[in-house]
């Protein structure tokens, strides 16, 4: 979206500010049971308020991205947050594959991606992939991160690799009946 005149941009910014500002303003904490929810909302709202301040000159592209992610396509924002959380998880754990437990939630101190349900998010991506409803660009992005589309197949492959390594060292894939040096565990023993 290009603006020919500063006034044209200003009038759009004023309309957007009037529409979006109530959602962007930090809320006060009334109920102490809601502290976590309110603190997350306040953290998000502070960033939103910074973009929406009409007293400052704003980059039209930044404002457009903000409205696109927060108003028009919040699902896209959730997707981007999941990608950021997955990237951070890989960096923090040193893993090369996205084999994240279903119940895993990112740590609160991870900033913008703190408290993201990464395990559920990845399980949902697998579900959409299996149903062939996940956009091709998202499939590519996840594959570039090391997405494991089938956790069961991945576990099988990992176990098979362990068996191959064992067979290469011991010239057989069969483990010994009784480890050397151990006592028999028979009932007559």
Residue pLDDT, tens place only, 142-157: 999 999 998 777 678 7
Report how far residue 23's alpha carbon sits from residue 18's, in angstroms, rounded to the nearest whole number. Answer: 10
Q: Is the dihedral of CA 84, 86, 89, 95 positive or negative?
A: negative
Q: Would the pTM of this model clear 0.75, i.e. be above it?
A: no
Residue pLDDT, tens place only, 12-54: 555 555 555 554 444 444 444 455 555 655 555 565 666 566 6
Report how far residue 113's alpha carbon sits from residue 186's, in angstroms, rounded to the nearest whole number. Answer: 55
The pairs formed by 64-72 with CB atoms below 8 angstroms and a separation of 24 or more are 64/1, 67/16, 67/20, 70/20, 70/23, 71/19, 71/20
DSSP state of 53: -
Cα–Cα nearest to 99, from 83, 84, 86: 86
């Amino acid at each position: 979206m290009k603006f020919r005149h500063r006034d044209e941009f200003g009038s759009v910014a004023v309309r957007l500010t009037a529409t979006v500002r109530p959602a962007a303003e930090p809320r006060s904490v009334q109920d102490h049971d809601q502290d976590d929810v309110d603190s997350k909302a306040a953290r998000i709202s502070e960033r939103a308020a910074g973009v929406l301040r009409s007293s400052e000159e704003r980059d039209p592209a930044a404002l457009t991205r903000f409205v696109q992610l927060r108003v028009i396509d919040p699902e896209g924002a959730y997707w981007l947050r999941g990608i950021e959380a997955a990237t951070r998880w890989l960096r923090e754990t040193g893993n090369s594959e996205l084999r994240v437990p279903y119940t895993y939630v990112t740590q609160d101190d991870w900033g913008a991606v703190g408290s993201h349900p990464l395990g559920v998010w990845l399980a949902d991506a697998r579900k959409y992939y299996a149903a062939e409803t996940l956009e091709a660009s998202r499939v590519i992005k996840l594959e570039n991160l090391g997405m494991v589309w089938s956790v069961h197949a991945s576990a099988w492959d990992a176990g098979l690799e362990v068996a191959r390594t064992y067979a290469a060292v011991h010239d057989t894939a069969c483990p010994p009946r009784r480890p050397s040096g151990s006592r028999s565990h028979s009932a007559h023993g």
